[in-house]
Amino acid sequence: MSLNVQIDELIQQNELLLKENDFLSAFEERYIDDPEISDIENPQQLENADLLLIALSESSELKTHNEYLSQISLDAACRLKSLILAYEQNLATIRRLTFIYQREVLGDTGFSIEESNQEIIHRLPKSVNANAIESFYNIQTQKLKNQTQQFSEKELQFKKQLNKIKEQNNSGINQQQGLNQVDFDQLKIENSKLLDKIAIRNQELLRIKLSAGNCLLQMNQLKQDLNKILDQKKYIDSEIISKQIQTKQIKEKIDYTEKELKTDVLQLEKLKQKEISASDGPYSIDYLSLKAMQNTMEKAVEDVNRKIGILKRKIQNQMKLLEE
């Protein structure tokens, strides 16, 4: 496990411990040593609305403490990470300077950067140039001074930014605390107004439900009437079809009767011609038999005409019913 991972775990554990400690301290300050709460004879007599408001106030206060602790933990984590980063940068600088010193000042050309990262092995050269050592130290000292000055300037800027953030955080906390001071009477008034509005809305909703129920009843009645009308339509359609079939049959009977009438008339004419041609003359014709035959044929024709008239009247009645 790397050093950064261990440091992050320690920071998280420290944050949890700080939160628990602050929560316990706040609880002890608010409930154990608070004379206003301890003077209440029967705390269970509080109404649900008051208990809800107290719970909301305490929740807001705990949220404020949580934000404050989160800010402190974040500051500590930033500082620790900045120290670790500075340590790693300084270690890299030392290794780089060791490498430069071994190669340029001591003249050890066989010295490698891998050796500077592990154990520093000093190899004594045969001769050392004092001017090179002095120049090396002067250059590195000047670089360190410049870096120190830059670091100091960055630190000042960081402190200014940190102070500005703290001021903003404190102002936000003060504003939050000011907002947390709830006017319970005003809340009760607003709550009663909201309850009145809810009652009005419930009445409107009930009225809408009743009107919707009436509409549904009317729709069901209309559906029933429509079903009755459809049933009547089906019955009328079936009657129309049956009447059409009967009309067709009657027309066929009329056509058949007219054909029979024509054939009977033709037969009567043929019989008359035969009787006239078979006899010696009009004086030899049996007048009585011809008269009886004529009467019979006339009655048959009258019967046929009467049937045709009856069938025509039936057809006219059927047509009137169909038109209705």
- Residue pLDDT, tens place only, 66-77: 777 777 778 777
Q: Are 101 and 115 a contacting pair, CB within 8 Å?
A: no
Q: Are 31 and 37 a contacting pair, CB within 8 Å?
A: yes
How confident is the model over 246-263, as pLDDT tens digits? 888 888 887 887 788 788
Number of domains in the chain: 2
Task: Classify residue 122: in a domain, yes or no.
Answer: yes
How confident is the model over 79-112, as pLDDT tens digits? 778 778 877 877 777 777 777 777 766 666 665 5
Task: Classify residue 195: in a domain, yes or no.
Answer: no
Is there a single domain that holds both residue 128 and residue 237?
no
Q: What is the pLDDT of residue 39?
A: 46
Q: What is the pLDDT of residue 40?
A: 45
Task: Classify residue 128: in a domain, yes or no.
Answer: yes
Is there a single domain that holds both residue 145 and residue 55?
yes
Task: Classify residue 127: in a domain, yes or no.
Answer: yes
Nearest residue to 73 (alpha-carbon basis) of 32, 16, 128? 16
Q: Are 147 and 49 a contacting pair, CB within 8 Å?
A: no
More confident site: 183 or 134? 134
**What average pLDDT does the chain have?**
72
Ranking 56-60, 84-88, 239-243 by mean pLDDT, the lowest is: 56-60
**Domain boundary residue, one of 167, 182, 197:** 182
CA atoms of 5 and 24, how far apart (whole Å): 29
Task: Classify residue 221: in a domain, yes or no.
Answer: no
Is there a single domain that holds both residue 23 and residue 90?
yes
Is there a single domain that holds both residue 141 and residue 237?
no
Task: Classify residue 217: in a domain, yes or no.
Answer: no
Q: Is the model's pLDDT at 17 over the cut of 70?
A: no
Is there a single domain that holds both residue 172 and residue 246?
no
Q: Are 264 and 297 a contacting pair, CB within 8 Å?
A: yes
CA atoms of 116 and 121, how far apart (whole Å): 8
Q: Is the model's pLDDT at 120 over the cut of 50?
A: no
Task: Classify residue 214: in a domain, yes or no.
Answer: no
Domain limits for position 310 = 231-323
**Domain boundary residue, one of 161, 182, 203:** 182
Is there a single domain that holds both residue 148 and residue 284?
no
